[in-house]
Amino acid sequence: MITLGIDIGSTTSKCVLLKDGQEIIASGLRVGGLGTEGPEEALADLWKLTDLDPSAVTRTIVTGYGRNKYEGADGEVSELTCHALGGRFIFPDLRTLIDIGGQDAKIISLNESGRMSNFVMNDKCAAGTGRFLDVMANILRMDINDLEACAAQSEKPASISSTCTVFAESEVISQLANGVSRPDLVAGICESVASRVSALARRAGVVPRVCMSGGVARNGAVRSALSKSLEVDIDFDPMAQYFGAIGAALYGYRQALKQNS
Amino acid sequence: MAEEVKKPEEVKKPRKPLDPNSAKYKLGKIASDAFATAIEAKKQGRPVAWVSSNFPVEIPETLGLATAYPENQAAGIAARGAGERMCEVAEADGYSNDICAYARISLAYAKLKECPEQDVAMPDVLLCCNNICNCMIKWYENLSIDLGIPMIMLDIPFNPDYEVSDAEVAYVTGQFWDAVHQLEDLFGLKWDDDRFQQVTGFSCRSSRAWLEATAQAKYTPSPFNGFDLLNHMAVMVTARGKEEAGEAMETLLKEYKENHEKGESTFRVEEKHRIMFEGIACWPYLRATSRGLKDRGINMVTTIYADAFGFDYNSFDEMIRAYCSVPNAINLEKSRDKRVKLCKDNNVEGLLVHTNRSCKLWSGFMAEMSRQIGKECNIPVTSFDGDQADPRNFSEAQYDTRVQGLCEIMESNKEAKEA
C-alpha cells in the first residue's frame, strides 16, 4: 500500500511517499510553505523520483500550518501527532521530540508505547524558531546553511540577551560594529535559540531518547547547545525535516489498514 | 482522529424568538437590565457605584445603591469587537499595553464616557476589592482621580495559607462595616439588617442554583455546552443578590436536569471529548475559540471561572470566608485542589489553558499548576496565548493547532483504553 504525507509549513513544504508503512520510497522538499507554490513543487519533485503516479496512492494525509487550506488530501492531522509518529518511525525508542520549525517550537512527549502523551509549544513570539535564525543570517549576510560551520570557529560565544527578534537584530548589528567576531556572534545566536527552547523542554520534561526535527535540526550548533543546556544526548537524522510528512504518510497507512479491517 | 478536509457547510437556521419562561431569556434580561437600571437610576439623580466583580455585592444591594460592573462592561465591549479601539485610547494616554485590557477599556470609557458597544451609567463612587487582583487597586485609584469621586477599598490580600485565618476574617469584617458606614455617610443611605438578611438569602439562593447547575456536567454527555456558562455567569457577577437572579438560576438548573433526563444537551453535536477550560474567556474571539472545540466534538464541561461567582454561606463569618476564598486570592495548592476536584467530578479528559496576557496573576502560576493538575488527573494539558479583551494577543491558527493536538491525544488515549 502506498500512502502520501504532505507537510505544509510556514516556510517549507515537504512530502513523503511511504510503502506499506515501512519504507520511504520518495521525498520532496521546497522552500515556500502556505500560500506559495511550494507544496505543488515539492510534490512534482517527488513524482520525478519514482515510477509511480498519483493514482497509486491509497491515502493522502496533510499536516502542518497549511493543512486546513490544502484540498488534495483525504484528511488532515496536526503536525504534533505527525512529528511524533515520524520521529518514532526513525527512532523506535524515542520519548522526547524537539521540533523547531519556521515559526514555532514544540516539545512532544511520547509514552513508552510511542503515543504522544503531551506537548508544549512556544508562545506567539518567533524567538527560538527558524525565523529568528533566518533574520540573523540575513543581517550577517550569510547563508542559513553556513551557520553551523561558522559557529564551530567561535572562541567566545557572544551573549544575545534580547528575546525579541527585532531587538536582537539591533543587538547583533551593534555587536558587529563593536568588533565582535562573526563566529562568536553566530554561536551566540544559536545558543540564544537553544536557551529559549530548552526552557520549553524543561516544562514538558525531557526523557531520553531525545531527537530533533524540523529545519533547525540541521544546524549542529543549535543541537549541541541544546544538548549542553539540557544535559542529554540529542539524536539527529538527515530526514529530520521530513518527520512531519513521514508521520502523515504513516498515519494514512494506519488509517487505511483500520478501515480495511 | 484525522479530520476530513472538506467539512459540510453549516446551514444556519433562522433564530426562533426565545421563550420568556426559558432560563436563557430570563438570564439575558437580567444581564441587560443591570446596565439599564443603573442608567435609569442616574437619570433620577440616585447615586451609582462602579463595583469590582468579587466585591461583596451584599453591601450595595442592601443599601439600595445602583451598580455597574466595569469588568462585565469591558467583556461586553470586547465581545462586540471594540476592545482594540478602547485599549488604544488608554494607551494613547500612557497606559502600557501590558496592563489588564479590562482596566484599559474602563479607563478609556471614563475618559470618553461613551461606547456604543456597551454604555454604562457614570459612577458617583467606586467600590474596589482586590481579592480578584491587585491591578484593580491602581485601576480604581486612577478612575477615582480622573473622575474626582471617592473610592472605597476592601483589602482582601492573596492568602498564602491553605485556610482562611480568623485574623483575616476579622480584618475583612472591620473593612466591611467601614465600607458600609462610608457609603451611609456619603449618600445618606441607611443599613437595614432585615434587608441584609433578605439580600444574603437571594445571593445564596442564586449561588446554590448556579453551582448545582454547573455541576450537572457530571453527567456524560453533559446536558449543556460549557460556553453557555460564560454568558450566564454575567448574572452571577452583576445581580446575584437580586431575587430574580435566584429564580432564573433555578430555571437554568431545572432545564439542565430535564436535558439530562431526556438525553438532550445545549451542546448540539456529539460530545466526543470533555475538557476543563482554564482562565477568563477570550472574549474578542469567543466564537473562534468555541467553534475550534465544537467542530471537534469537544465540550468544555467545566471551568473554575464560572464557579468563582457562586457564594454560598450560612453565616456572616462564612460569607467573609467565601470572599477570602475566590480563585485569585488563594494559594497554588488550594487552587490546584479545587480544579482537580472539578476535573474528577466532571470526568474531564483534557485541560485547555488560556494564557491570558491581561491577567498576570492568573496566567503566571498556571504553568506549574496545570502541570500538577495534568499529573494528578492523568490528562493532557495545552495552553494558547490570548487575552480577555485585547484582540491583538491571539492567533487563530496557533489556537487551532494546539486544540487539534489536544484532541488527538484524547482520541489516542481513548483508543488505548478501549484496546
pLDDT at B2: 54
Residue of B nearest to A81 (CA): B405
- In the predicted model, is pLDDT for residue A177 greater than 60? yes
List of chain A residues whose C-beta atoms are within 8 Å of the C-beta of residue B412: 81, 115-116
- Chain B: give the shortest CA distance to residue A170, in Å: 23
List of chain A residues whose C-beta atoms are within 8 Å of the C-beta of residue B355: 123
Q: Give, in order, the Cα–Cα distances in Å from B250 to each of B34, B230, B253, B308.
A: 19, 17, 5, 18
- In the predicted model, is pLDDT for residue B311 greater than 90? no
Instruction: Report, as an integer, the average pLDDT of B302-317.
Output: 89
Contact B374 A118 (CB under 8 A): yes
The single residue listed with the C-alpha cell 525535516 is: A241
pLDDT at A22: 96
Instruction: Report, as an integer, the average pLDDT of B376-382.
Output: 96
State the pTM of this model: 0.89
Contact B5 A71 (CB under 8 A): yes
- Judged by a CB distance cut-off of 8 A, whether residue B395 touches chain A is yes
List of chain B residues whose C-beta atoms are within 8 Å of the C-beta of residue A124: 385, 393, 395, 398
Helix residue ranges, H only, chain A: 38-48, 79-90, 130-139, 147-152, 165-177, 182-204, 220-230, 243-260
**How far apart are alpha carbons B47 and A117 in whole angstroms?**
56
Question: Which CATH superfamily does the domain covering A93-236 fall into?
Answer: ATPase, nucleotide binding domain (3.30.420.40)
Lowest mean pLDDT among A16-25, A102-111, B47-56, B125-134: A102-111
Q: What ipTM was reported for this prediction?
A: 0.85
Window B:354-393, CB contacts with A under 8 Å: 355, 367, 371, 374, 380-382, 385, 393
Of the candidates B367, B398, B408, the beta carbon closest to that of A124 is on B398
- Judged by a CB distance cut-off of 8 A, whether residue B402 touches chain A is yes
**How far apart are alpha carbons B401 and B414 in whole angstroms?**
20
- In the predicted model, is pLDDT for residue A189 greater than 90? yes
- In the predicted model, is pLDDT for residue B6 greater than 60? no
pLDDT band per the 50, 70, 90 thresholds, residue B195: very high
- Chain B: give the shortest CA distance to residue A235, in Å: 24
pLDDT at B12: 60
- In the predicted model, is pLDDT for residue B14 greater than 90? no
pLDDT at A261: 78
pLDDT band per the 50, 70, 90 thresholds, residue B269: very high
List of chain B residues whose C-beta atoms are within 8 Å of the C-beta of residue A118: 374, 380-382, 409
Instruction: Report, as an integer, the average pLDDT of A153-164.
Output: 88
pLDDT at A127: 77
pLDDT at B10: 53
Q: Give, in order, the Cα–Cα distances in Å from B166 to each of A192, B153, B178, B323.
A: 50, 20, 18, 14
Contact pairs from chain A to chain B, CB under 8 Å: 77
pLDDT at B385: 93
The strand order across the sheet containing A96-100 reads A116-121, A105-110, A96-100, A210-213, A234-235
Contact B404 A78 (CB under 8 A): yes
**For all residues of chain A together, what is the average pLDDT?**
92
**How far apart are alpha carbons B55 and B71 in whole angstroms?**
12
pLDDT at A130: 87
Distance of CA B108 to the CA centre of its chain: 21
- Judged by a CB distance cut-off of 8 A, whether residue A253 touches chain B is no
Contact A68 B400 (CB under 8 A): yes
Strands A23-31 and A210-213: unpaired
pLDDT at B370: 95
- Share above pLDDT 70 across residues of chain B, in percent, rounded to a whole number: 97
Give residue A166's region: left, alpha or beta (phi > 0; psi -120 to 50).
alpha
Window A:151-210, CB contacts with B under 8 Å: 203
Contact A123 B385 (CB under 8 A): yes
* A23 burial type by CB count under 10 A (0-12 exposed, 13-18 middle, 19+ buried): exposed
The answer to whether domain A2-86+241-260 and domain A93-236 are alike in fold is yes
Instruction: Report, as an integer, the average pLDDT of B82-106.
Output: 97
Lowest mean pLDDT among A115-119, B51-55, B159-163, B303-307: B303-307
To test the contact with chain A by mutation, choose from B360, B387, B399, B404 the residue with the greatest count of A C-beta atoms within 10 A, namely B404
- Chain B: give the shortest CA distance to residue A182, in Å: 34
Of the candidates B2, B393, B395, the beta carbon closest to that of A251 is on B2
Task: For B19-72, write each residue's pLDDT tens digit.
Answer: 999 999 999 999 989 999 999 999 999 999 999 999 999 999 999 999 999 999
List of chain A residues whose C-beta atoms are within 8 Å of the C-beta of residue B1: 77, 81, 251, 255
- In the predicted model, is pLDDT for residue A230 greater than 60? yes
**So where are chain A's domains?**
2-86+241-260, 93-236
List of chain A residues whose C-beta atoms are within 8 Å of the C-beta of residue B350: none
- Share above pLDDT 70 across residues of chain A, in percent, rounded to a whole number: 100
- Using the Cα atoms of residue B341, residue B347, residue B350 and residue B355 in order, give the sign of their dihedral: negative
Task: For B107-162, write each residue's pLDDT tens digit.
Answer: 999 999 999 999 999 999 999 999 999 999 999 999 999 999 999 999 999 999 99
Nearest to B412 by CA among A211, A253, A260, A77: A77
pLDDT band per the 50, 70, 90 thresholds, residue A125: confident
**So where are chain B's domains?**
23-190
pLDDT at A3: 98
CATH of A2-86+241-260, one of 3.30.420.40, 3.30.750.24, 3.90.850.10, 3.40.630.10: 3.30.420.40
> Could you write out the DSSP letters of every residue in B289-302?
HHHHHHTTTEEEEE
CB contact at 8 A, A210 and A98: yes
pLDDT at B140: 98
Instruction: Report, as an integer, the average pLDDT of A34-50.
Output: 91
Q: Give, in order, the Cα–Cα distances in Å from B161 to each of B71, B112, B324.
A: 28, 42, 11
pLDDT band per the 50, 70, 90 thresholds, residue B238: confident
- Judged by a CB distance cut-off of 8 A, whether residue B3 touches chain A is yes
**How far apart are alpha carbons A205 and A111 in whole angstroms?**
12
CATH of B23-190, one of 3.40.50.11890, 3.65.10.10, 3.40.50.300, 3.40.720.10: 3.40.50.11890
C-alpha cell at B324: 477570602
**For all residues of chain B together, what is the average pLDDT?**
94
Of the candidates B5, B409, B412, the beta carbon closest to that of A76 is on B5
Instruction: Report, as an integer, the average pLDDT of B353-360.
Output: 94
Instruction: Report, as an integer, the average pLDDT of A93-102.
Output: 94
- Judged by a CB distance cut-off of 8 A, whether residue B404 touches chain A is yes
Window A:92-131, CB contacts with B under 8 Å: 104, 113, 115-121, 123-124
Residue of A nearest to B368 (CA): A203
pLDDT at B397: 87
